[in-house]
Structures are given as structure tokens and as C-alpha cells.
Amino acid sequence: MMVVSKESVRCNIADPEQLARLKRSVLEWNTWWSPDVAIDLREACLFGASLRGVNICRADLKEANLWGADLSGADLDEADLTNALQLHFFPIR
């Protein structure tokens, strides 16, 4: 079994201010978000992040680490997820 921790995951951050806002609160992010703002989250480490209902339309998420992130109800319309990492593990019975 592979064990992954937040400490063992290395990520680069494209726009630290945007990433910090997103990690603080989905409500804060969605209130701030505007279609006129270029969202640059390339290579962002969103490992295990709770992003339920987040609006990240048209965001640049190339090579972002979304491992274990909860994207339930997230709006990813036109987001660029090229080479983004999101692994799903299913229990073995």
C-alpha cells in the first residue's frame, strides 16, 4: 500500500495569492472570483483540499496536484486540467 502525506508531496505554486485565497475558504474564493481575472493555479498543490462547490471556471490548473481533493459540486467549466493529478482509490473487498 502506498502512503502519501502532505509533507511528501512537492508542488510548485504559480500564483501564491490566488492559491492562499482558495485554500482559506471556498466562500471567500467564490465571492472574489470574477470571469475577468486570469486564474493561474498551474502546478498548485491542492492535495487533500476541500473544494466543494468552488468556482474555478477557466482556471489554469495544468499539472496541479488534486490528489484527494474534494471537488464535489465544483464548477470546472473550461478549466485546463492538462496533466493534473487526481487519483481515486477504491476499497478492495
User: What pLDDT shows up at residue 49?
Assistant: 92
Three cell numbers written together for 56 = 474555478
User: What pLDDT shows up at residue 14?
Assistant: 77
CB burial string 11-24: b at 16+ within 10 A, e below: bebbbeebbeebbe
Q: What global pTM score does this model have?
A: 0.77
Mean pLDDT by 10 residues, the chain (93 residues): 51 82 96 95 93 96 93 94 72 41
d(CA 77, CA 59): 9
Would you kindly state where each structural domain of the chain is located, as residue ranges?
A: 13-93
